[in-house]
Amino acid sequence: MHCPYCRENRTRVIDTSHDVRGGVRRRRVCLSCNERFSTYERAILSSPLIVKRDGTREEFDREKLARGFRIACAKRPVSANDIDRLVGEVEATLQGMGKAEVPSRVVRDLAIAGLKGLDHTAYIRYAIVYLGLDDLNSIRDEIDHLLE
Ligand SMILES: [Zn+2]
Protein backbone atom coordinates (compact mmCIF):
# COMPACT_ATOMS: atom_id res chain seq x y z
CA MET A 1 0.00 0.00 0.00
CA HIS A 2 1.50 3.29 -1.13
CA CYS A 3 1.02 6.45 0.87
CA PRO A 4 -1.41 8.66 -1.11
CA TYR A 5 0.58 11.75 -0.04
CA CYS A 6 4.17 10.81 -0.81
CA ARG A 7 3.96 7.38 -2.53
CA GLU A 8 6.11 5.77 0.16
CA ASN A 9 5.28 2.11 0.43
CA ARG A 10 6.17 1.60 4.07
CA THR A 11 3.10 2.21 6.17
CA ARG A 12 2.05 0.98 9.57
CA VAL A 13 -1.46 -0.14 10.53
CA ILE A 14 -2.58 1.70 13.66
CA ASP A 15 -6.18 0.53 13.84
CA THR A 16 -8.32 -2.20 12.26
CA SER A 17 -12.09 -2.38 12.27
CA HIS A 18 -14.60 -4.69 10.64
CA ASP A 19 -17.84 -3.49 9.18
CA VAL A 20 -21.18 -5.25 8.97
CA ARG A 21 -20.65 -6.19 5.32
CA GLY A 22 -17.53 -8.18 6.12
CA GLY A 23 -15.10 -5.49 4.99
CA VAL A 24 -12.01 -4.47 6.89
CA ARG A 25 -11.02 -0.86 7.40
CA ARG A 26 -7.42 -0.13 8.37
CA ARG A 27 -6.13 3.14 9.68
CA ARG A 28 -2.54 3.59 8.53
CA VAL A 29 0.29 5.97 9.13
CA CYS A 30 2.99 6.62 6.54
CA LEU A 31 6.46 5.89 7.90
CA SER A 32 7.97 8.54 5.67
CA CYS A 33 5.71 11.61 5.91
CA ASN A 34 3.62 10.58 8.95
CA GLU A 35 0.34 11.37 7.20
CA ARG A 36 -2.57 9.15 8.14
CA PHE A 37 -5.05 7.53 5.80
CA SER A 38 -7.49 4.62 5.75
CA THR A 39 -7.74 1.65 3.47
CA TYR A 40 -10.76 -0.51 2.95
CA GLU A 41 -10.62 -4.15 1.98
CA ARG A 42 -13.49 -6.38 0.96
CA ALA A 43 -14.00 -9.57 -0.97
CA ILE A 44 -14.78 -9.14 -4.64
CA LEU A 45 -17.52 -11.58 -5.50
CA SER A 46 -17.10 -13.10 -8.87
CA SER A 47 -19.65 -14.98 -10.87
CA PRO A 48 -19.04 -18.65 -11.62
CA LEU A 49 -18.11 -19.68 -15.13
CA ILE A 50 -21.11 -20.84 -17.13
CA VAL A 51 -20.82 -24.34 -18.58
CA LYS A 52 -22.78 -24.51 -21.81
CA ARG A 53 -24.57 -27.56 -23.10
CA ASP A 54 -21.74 -28.38 -25.48
CA GLY A 55 -19.30 -28.40 -22.54
CA THR A 56 -17.60 -25.10 -23.36
CA ARG A 57 -17.33 -22.43 -20.69
CA GLU A 58 -18.01 -18.75 -20.85
CA GLU A 59 -18.08 -15.79 -18.48
CA PHE A 60 -21.46 -14.84 -17.06
CA ASP A 61 -22.62 -12.06 -19.36
CA ARG A 62 -24.97 -9.54 -17.74
CA GLU A 63 -25.60 -7.81 -21.05
CA LYS A 64 -26.54 -11.01 -22.82
CA LEU A 65 -29.05 -11.86 -20.10
CA ALA A 66 -30.47 -8.33 -20.17
CA ARG A 67 -30.81 -8.54 -23.96
CA GLY A 68 -32.83 -11.76 -23.68
CA PHE A 69 -35.06 -10.12 -21.05
CA ARG A 70 -35.55 -6.99 -23.13
CA ILE A 71 -36.61 -9.03 -26.15
CA ALA A 72 -39.02 -11.08 -24.03
CA CYS A 73 -40.42 -7.93 -22.40
CA ALA A 74 -40.88 -5.92 -25.60
CA LYS A 75 -44.12 -3.92 -25.43
CA ARG A 76 -44.87 -5.33 -21.99
CA PRO A 77 -45.35 -3.13 -18.90
CA VAL A 78 -41.85 -3.94 -17.65
CA SER A 79 -39.44 -1.07 -17.03
CA ALA A 80 -35.75 -0.95 -17.78
CA ASN A 81 -35.31 -0.82 -14.00
CA ASP A 82 -37.22 -4.07 -13.55
CA ILE A 83 -34.94 -5.75 -16.09
CA ASP A 84 -31.84 -4.35 -14.42
CA ARG A 85 -33.05 -5.56 -11.05
CA LEU A 86 -33.81 -9.03 -12.41
CA VAL A 87 -30.36 -9.31 -13.99
CA GLY A 88 -28.85 -8.19 -10.68
CA GLU A 89 -30.85 -10.81 -8.79
CA VAL A 90 -29.73 -13.60 -11.10
CA GLU A 91 -26.11 -12.46 -10.80
CA ALA A 92 -26.30 -12.16 -7.01
CA THR A 93 -27.78 -15.65 -6.74
CA LEU A 94 -25.01 -17.08 -8.94
CA GLN A 95 -22.34 -15.34 -6.88
CA GLY A 96 -23.99 -16.46 -3.66
CA MET A 97 -23.62 -20.09 -4.73
CA GLY A 98 -19.89 -19.70 -4.28
CA LYS A 99 -19.14 -22.17 -7.07
CA ALA A 100 -16.45 -21.98 -9.70
CA GLU A 101 -18.76 -23.24 -12.43
CA VAL A 102 -22.48 -23.75 -12.94
CA PRO A 103 -24.36 -25.27 -15.87
CA SER A 104 -26.08 -22.75 -18.15
CA ARG A 105 -29.35 -24.46 -17.22
CA VAL A 106 -29.04 -22.91 -13.74
CA VAL A 107 -28.85 -19.44 -15.26
CA ARG A 108 -31.84 -20.14 -17.50
CA ASP A 109 -33.87 -21.49 -14.57
CA LEU A 110 -33.09 -18.42 -12.46
CA ALA A 111 -33.92 -16.14 -15.37
CA ILE A 112 -37.18 -17.92 -16.09
CA ALA A 113 -38.24 -18.01 -12.42
CA GLY A 114 -37.54 -14.29 -12.12
CA LEU A 115 -39.43 -13.46 -15.28
CA LYS A 116 -42.36 -15.59 -14.17
CA GLY A 117 -42.76 -13.33 -11.15
CA LEU A 118 -42.56 -10.22 -13.31
CA ASP A 119 -44.72 -10.70 -16.36
CA HIS A 120 -46.42 -13.86 -17.59
CA THR A 121 -46.38 -12.95 -21.27
CA ALA A 122 -42.69 -12.14 -21.14
CA TYR A 123 -42.11 -15.37 -19.27
CA ILE A 124 -43.85 -17.46 -21.95
CA ARG A 125 -41.90 -15.71 -24.72
CA TYR A 126 -38.63 -16.30 -22.90
CA ALA A 127 -39.47 -19.90 -22.14
CA ILE A 128 -40.33 -20.60 -25.77
CA VAL A 129 -36.94 -19.32 -26.88
CA TYR A 130 -34.70 -20.53 -24.07
CA LEU A 131 -36.43 -23.66 -22.82
CA GLY A 132 -37.11 -24.81 -26.34
CA LEU A 133 -40.87 -25.04 -25.78
CA ASP A 134 -41.12 -25.68 -29.46
CA ASP A 135 -44.18 -27.79 -29.68
CA LEU A 136 -47.61 -26.33 -29.18
CA ASN A 137 -48.62 -28.82 -26.52
CA SER A 138 -45.85 -27.98 -24.12
CA ILE A 139 -46.51 -24.27 -24.65
CA ARG A 140 -50.20 -24.83 -23.93
CA ASP A 141 -49.33 -26.89 -20.82
CA GLU A 142 -47.19 -24.06 -19.57
CA ILE A 143 -49.91 -21.48 -20.20
CA ASP A 144 -52.53 -23.71 -18.56
CA HIS A 145 -50.22 -24.03 -15.59
CA LEU A 146 -49.94 -20.24 -15.32
CA LEU A 147 -53.68 -19.77 -15.59
CA GLU A 148 -54.44 -22.25 -12.82
ZN1 LIG B 1 3.71 9.49 3.08
- One-letter-per-residue 3-state SS of 1-19: CCCCCCCCCCEEEEEEEEC
Residue 43 has pLDDT above 80, yes or no: no
Residue 99, sorted as left (phi over 0), alpha (psi -120 to 50) or beta, turns out to be: beta
Buried b (16+ CB within 10 A) or exposed e, 122-139: bbbbbbeebbebeeeeee
Q: How far is the CA of 9 from the centre of ligand 1 (A)?
A: 8
Q: How far is the CA of 53 from the centre of ligand 1 (A)?
A: 53
Q: Judge residue 140's burial from the number of C-beta atoms within 10 Å of its C-beta, 0-12 exposed, 13-18 middle, 19 or more buried.
A: exposed
Radius of gyration of the chain measured on its C-alpha atoms: 23
Q: How far is the CA of 39 from the centre of ligand 1 (A)?
A: 14
Q: How far is the CA of 28 from the centre of ligand 1 (A)?
A: 10
pLDDT of 128: 83
pLDDT of 21: 67
Angle at the Cα of 30 from the Cα atoms of 27 and 31, rounded to 5 degrees? 130
pTM score, whole prediction: 0.65
Residue 36 has pLDDT above 90, yes or no: yes
Q: How far is the CA of 30 from the centre of ligand 1 (A)?
A: 5
* Mean pLDDT value across residues 87-98: 91
Residue 88 has pLDDT above 70, yes or no: yes
Cα–chain-centroid distance for residue 105? 16
